[in-house]
Structure formats: structure tokens, C-alpha cells
């Protein structure tokens, strides 16, 4: 019988190295990537191609959003529920293991690298909570951790595993050079939930949105533009460049509407809230304040309740953005 492992692939270096080390022991590897708007972007498909492994992609979905609001094991320094997140990911991994007929799970976790979720005791806790105790192999730190079932059963040689610990990356970078791995996210990449700026936006979203109606798309919007909380029922998002101006169209819906510069270079505003004259004036003021060009009588366009509308921008210019 072919021994097969399911390897969690984030697109980062550590998970790619862990998968490669298992491949080197003659184990067939299937990669699993879990998509979420809180993950730093990486081309995990290139990582899978370089490793020459099949890649399964799953979305974390609405259940993950509920976890972010109510983590059982709490948050880290910012809005990062790392322990709950790992348990959640392992639960998905356990289901996919059955689907692809894999015998064990592989991760790139390094003991002591992340203070909240990668202490030795916490790693054991996560495995137990996910009902995978003994079936999670962490090749980069395996020599510092209890022996796993794949090792006991002779599928994996413990002598070929490593005992890396801590936050340093020198050993991983040297290993990547030895393997010739080039397609991976830089060591500085990671989860946006650990970023203080993103965390403030997420906390604001949770404080001003109905839990029953919040969707992952609302979280994805936090990645785009400058966000101005005007009042409980109103937020305005300004594009910071041409690419973001275009992306804001993806988030337009019945409760979010765009005000778009016409004939000049300036930020598009996505108004998240009522479609009224007062809200329009606020969007116009923000566009004016963040337009780099001189401010003569430019125009903006938007879709009003009665169809397309045009308005002079110059009449809305005031000093400073709204509080």
C-alpha cells in the first residue's frame, strides 16, 4: 500500500521544506492550501509545482469568521486567535485526509517560533483538540517533540528529521538553498491577523456589523484602501492607487456604492452605508482631500437611487477629512 501524507501548504518556506523532507523519505505527498482573506498572498500553486505535488485548495469559509469573533483560546497580541485557528485548520485537514486517503498530516510548524501557538505543550494541545494526536508530523522540529505514529510504524525515519526551534530562519534558508527551492513567500510574510493595522480594521468591522450578516467578503475589503469610520452605520473606503480604485468595484452591492472621479486622477470612494446626500458630501470631501492634483471644478460620478448621477467636486472641498 502506498503511504501518503497530507501536507499543509501556506505558500511559505517552512511548509514547503516540511513537504520536501517527507517526499525525500519516499512518501507520496498531497498538498492542502486553505484560502482566507486574512492570509498574506502567495502563489502556492507555484510552490506545489516546484515540489511536484498535487494541490487541494479549500476555503476556510463562514465558520472561520465565527471563530475570529469568538475564539475559545483567545487572541494573541492583536486579533490573532492562533490556537483556535490551528485546531480549525487541522479539523479541515483531517477531513481532507480521508478524502485523499492520506495516513498522516504534515506541517511546517517550528517549535517556539510563534509564542502563542508553537510552544511544545500547545502543539500537543492542538493535536488533541483536532483528534489527531500522534498523527501530525512536524519535520523541522520533530527531534524536539514526541515520536509520532508515522515514525513508530516505520513510514518515516526519525534520523532524517530535524530539531529546529525559535524564530531564526538561517537553518531554513540554508535548507532551501540545498533543495533548490525558490518559489515561496518571504520569511517576513504570514497572517494579517498579527498585523496591528489590519487588526484595528477587523475590530472595527466586528464592532459595527451584525454578526448574522457579516461575510468573508467584508473581511476581504479590509485589505483594500484607506478606511474611515464616520459613524456606526457609515464607513468610507478610499482607493490608494489605480489598482485599488478598480478593485473597489468588486465590493459594490446594495449597501456599498462607489463615487468615481471623472476626468482627473483621484481616489475612488466606496461608501459603506446609506445612499443619501449627507453621505455623498462626506465622500466628496474625502476625495477632494486625497486628490493630489490641483482642485478646479472636477466631476465625480456615482449611481444614485434614480440612476447615474454627476456632481462637481470643487464645491465640496473643505479643510481636512472628517473625524
Q: What is the pLDDT of residues 261-304, one digit of tens each?
A: 988 889 999 999 999 989 999 999 999 889 877 765 678 888 87
Residue 323's pLDDT is 33
What does residue 173 show for φ and ψ, rounded to 5 degrees? -65, -40
Nearest one of 127, 124, 129, 121 to 105, comparing CA atoms: 127
The more confident residue out of 193 and 307 is 193
**pLDDT of 186 higher than 80:** no
Longest dimension (CA), the chain: 76
Q: Show the cell assigned to 147.
A: 515520536
**pLDDT of 234 higher than 80:** yes
β-pair partners for 128 = none
CA distance 210 to 215: 10
CA distance 268 to 147: 56
- What confidence tens digit (pLDDT) does each residue in 110-161 have? 998 887 888 899 999 999 999 999 999 999 999 999 999 999 999 999 999 9
pLDDT grade for 189, boundaries at 50, 70 and 90 = low
Nearest one of 116, 171, 96 to 139, comparing CA atoms: 171
Instruction: To the nearest 10°, report the CA torsion of 160, 95, 103, 145.
Output: 40
**pLDDT of 204 higher than 90:** yes
Nearest one of 179, 223, 178 to 199, comparing CA atoms: 223
Nearest one of 239, 243, 240 to 258, comparing CA atoms: 239
3-state SS, residue 118: coil
In contact, 322 and 228? CB cutoff 8 Å: yes
CATH homologous superfamily of 4-191 equals HUPs (3.40.50.620)
Residue 319's pLDDT is 35
288 sits in which H/E element: helix 277-289
The more confident residue out of 18 and 114 is 18
**pLDDT of 320 higher than 50:** no
Instruction: Please spell the DSSP secondary structure of 198-226, one letter per residue.
Output: HHHHHHHHHHTS-TTT--HHHHHHTTSSE
**pLDDT of 225 higher than 80:** yes
Domain with CATH 3.40.50.620 in the chain: 4-191
In contact, 63 and 86? CB cutoff 8 Å: no
Q: How many CB atoms lie within 10 A of CB 165?
A: 18
Residue 41's pLDDT is 65
Q: Which residues contact 170 (CB under 8 A, 6 or more apart)?
A: none
**pLDDT of 65 higher than 80:** yes
Residue 80's pLDDT is 94
Instruction: Please spell the DSSP secondary structure of 130-196, one letter per residue.
Output: TT-TT-EE-TTTGGGSPPPHHHHTTSS-GGG----BSS--HHHHHHHHHHT---SB-TT--BGGG-H
DSSP 316: G
Q: Which residues contact 202 (CB under 8 A, 6 or more apart)?
A: 68, 79, 193, 219, 222
Mean pLDDT of 53-69: 96
CA distance 105 to 102: 8
Percentage of the residues of the chain whose pLDDT score is greater than 90: 76
Mean pLDDT of 314-319: 46
Question: Residue 151 half-sphere exposure, CB side, CA atoms within 13 Å?
Answer: 17
Residue 296's pLDDT is 55
Q: What is the separation of C-alpha 285 from the centre of its chain, rounded to a whole number of angstroms?
A: 32
3-state SS, residue 45: helix
Amino acid at each position: 500500500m502506498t503511504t501518503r501524507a497530507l501536507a499543509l501548504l501556506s505558500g511559505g518556506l517552512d511548509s514547503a521544506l516540511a513537504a520536501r523532507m517527507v517526499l525525500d523519505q519516499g512518501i507520496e505527498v498531497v498538498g492542502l492550501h486553505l484560502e482566507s482573506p486574512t492570509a498574506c498572498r502567495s502563489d502556492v500553486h507555484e510552490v506545489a509545482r516546484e515540489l511536484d505535488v498535487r494541490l487541494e485548495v479549500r476555503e476556510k469559509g463562514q465558520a472561520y469568521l465565527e471563530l475570529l469573533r469568538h475564539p475559545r483560546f483567545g487572541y494573541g497580541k492583536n486579533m490573532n486567535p492562533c490556537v483556535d485557528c490551528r485546531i480549525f485548520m487541522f479539523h479541515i485537514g483531517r477531513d481532507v485526509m480521508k478524502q485523499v486517503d492520506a495516513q498522516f498530516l504534515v506541517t511546517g510548524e517550528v517549535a517556539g517560533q510563534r509564542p502563542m501557538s508553537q510552544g511544545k505543550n500547545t502543539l500537543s494541545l492542538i493535536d488533541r483538540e483536532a483528534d489527531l494526536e500522534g498523527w501530525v508530523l512536524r519535520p523541522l522540529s520533530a527531534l524536539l517533540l514526541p515520536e509520532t505514529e508515522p515514525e513508530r510504524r516505520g513510514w518515516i525515519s526519525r534520523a532524517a528529521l530535524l530539531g529546529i526551534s525559535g524564530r531564526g530562519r538561517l537553518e531554513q534558508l540554508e535548507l532551501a538553498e540545498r533543495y533548490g527551492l525558490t518559489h515561496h513567500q518571504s520569511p517576513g510574510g504570514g497572517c494579517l491577523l498579527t498585523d496591528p493595522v489590519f487588526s484595528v480594521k477587523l475590530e472595527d468591522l466586528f464592532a459595527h456589523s451584525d454578526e448574522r450578516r457579516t461575510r468573508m467578503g467584508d473581511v476581504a475589503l479590509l485589505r483594500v484602501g484607506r478606511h474611515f469610520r464616520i459613524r456606526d452605520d457609515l464607513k468610507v473606503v478610499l482607493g490608494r492607487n489605480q489598482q485599488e480604485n478598480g478593485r473597489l468595484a468588486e465590493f459594490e452591492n446594495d449597501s456599498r456604492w462607489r463615487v468615481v472621479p471623472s476626468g482627473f486622477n483621484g481616489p475612488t470612494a466606496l461608501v459603506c452605508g446609506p445612499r443619501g446626500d449627507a453621505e455623498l458630501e462626506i465622500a466628496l470631501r474625502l476625495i477632494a482631500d486625497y486628490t493630489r492634483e490641483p482642485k478646479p471644478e472636477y466631476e465625480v460620478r456615482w449611481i444614485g437611487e434614480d440612476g447615474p448621477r454627476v456632481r462637481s467636486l470643487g464645491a465640496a472641498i473643505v479643510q481636512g477629512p472628517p473625524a
